[in-house]
Structure 1
């Protein structure tokens, strides 16, 4: 999360107004894009981890674990503004919100590895 704290995040509530509460049940694209990123991540209980994946084509990914725990993986060494934008985008996509696709050459791939993991576990315990 250190890389995220380096981003200049000037998004703030209008002076004199409280920032709106954010929750998984009521989250909107506007909240994700406008609120300070730390508030978004805390309110939605999302953990951001810098991954060790150094592939130039990897910018980030999302893992949704047991109980709906969301972890966003970011690539190391990226500009903090790019990381901030990507985390916000992946957050919106994770909640199936209506957000425009990223421009080329970026793409989003959805993979459910549940069956692959189950098959690997069965193979491992059967050996």
Structure 2
């Protein structure tokens, strides 16, 4: 078992998250409708998301998503409200899964590009 990052909204923060998702039978595909309607904890488990607390303290940084070996990794800052964390987590999950999700409104500046462009 791994510790649960504080970046997850408190309403969806269980005591522990399994390091590997538990098998609950066949997984349903993650759709935009599911992202917008279902409890976040179940979505993160179904999508095999790894949450990482970011050490970035810039108030304008709301998070980042990377897909590595087919697994979404969400880098989330600490100190956000539950509402901010919930909205950004759902948005980044949709982006990481390549869903047709509407861009966030201003003042959010969303940049989507291949990881090799970021590292290079």
TM-score bracket for this pair, using the shorter chain length? 0.7 to 0.9
In structure 2, do the counterparts of structure 1 residues 3 and 74 end up closer, same or farther at CA, with 3 Å as the change threshold? closer
In structure 2, do the counterparts of structure 1 residues 61 and 115 end up closer, same or farther at CA, with 3 Å as the change threshold? closer
Decide which structure has the larger Cα Rg and report it: 1
In structure 2, do the counterparts of structure 1 residues 89 and 52 end up closer, same or farther at CA, with 3 Å as the change threshold? same
Q: Secondary structure at the match of 1:48?
A: strand
Deviations 1:87-124 (A, max 9, x none): 0011112222222211101021123232664x6xxxxx
Runs of 4+ in 1 over 3 A off after TM superposition: none
Asked if 1:56 is matched to 2:51, the reply is no
Q: Determine which of 78, 83, 92 is the counterpart of 1:81.
A: 83
The alignment covers a number of residue pairs equal to 104
In structure 2, do the counterparts of structure 1 residues 47 and 103 end up closer, same or farther at CA, with 3 Å as the change threshold? same
Greater shift, 41-50 or 106-115, is seen at 106-115
Residue segments in structure 1 that go unaligned for 5+ positions in a row: 10-20, 120-127
Corresponding residue of 1:114: 116
* Structure that is richer in helix per residue: 1
Q: TM-score, normalised by structure 1?
A: 0.70
Residue segments in structure 2 that go unaligned for 5+ positions in a row: 14-25
Q: Which runs of structure 2 are paired with 1:3-42 in the superposition (5 Å)?
A: 3-7=7-11, 22-23=27-28, 26-42=29-45
Q: TM-score, normalised by structure 2?
A: 0.74
Greater shift, 84-93 or 95-104, is seen at 95-104
